[in-house]
């Protein structure tokens, strides 16, 4: 019986956890659709800029090392 009681206790803890998660999600202030779109576009533009900078640095280093080797 102690194993069964422990299993039930653990299951109750899991159920309580998900109840608390649900309660916390109701407290979240979700961004408006317009804000979510704006944030998404900002992140995409920022990612493209960083990718371009890293790509340019990679290309520059490649050409620099090629010139150094040859």
Model confidence over 6-61: pLDDT tens digits? 888 889 999 999 999 999 999 999 999 999 999 999 999 999 999 999 999 999 99
What is the band of 1 on the pLDDT scale with cuts at 50, 70, 90?
Answer: low
Mean pLDDT in residue range 59-68: 95
List the domain boundaries for the chain. 1-30, 31-70
Asked if the model's pLDDT at residue 5 lies above 90, the reply is: no
Cα separation of 54 and 9, whole Å? 52
Which residues are CB-contacts of 32 (< 8 A; sequence separation ≥ 6)? Answer: none
Cα separation of 63 and 43, whole Å? 30
- What is the predicted pLDDT for the residue at 51? 98
Contact (Cβ atoms closer than 8 angstroms) between residue 18 and residue 26: no
């Amino acid at each position: 019986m102690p194993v069964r009681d422990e299993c039930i206790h653990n299951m109750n803890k899991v159920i309580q956890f998900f109840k608390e998660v649900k309660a916390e999600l109701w407290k979240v202030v979700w961004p408006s659709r317009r804000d979510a779109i704006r944030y998404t576009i900002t992140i995409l533009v920022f990612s493209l800029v960083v990718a371009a900078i890293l790509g340019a640095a990679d290309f520059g280093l490649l050409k620099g090392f090629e010139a150094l080797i040859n």
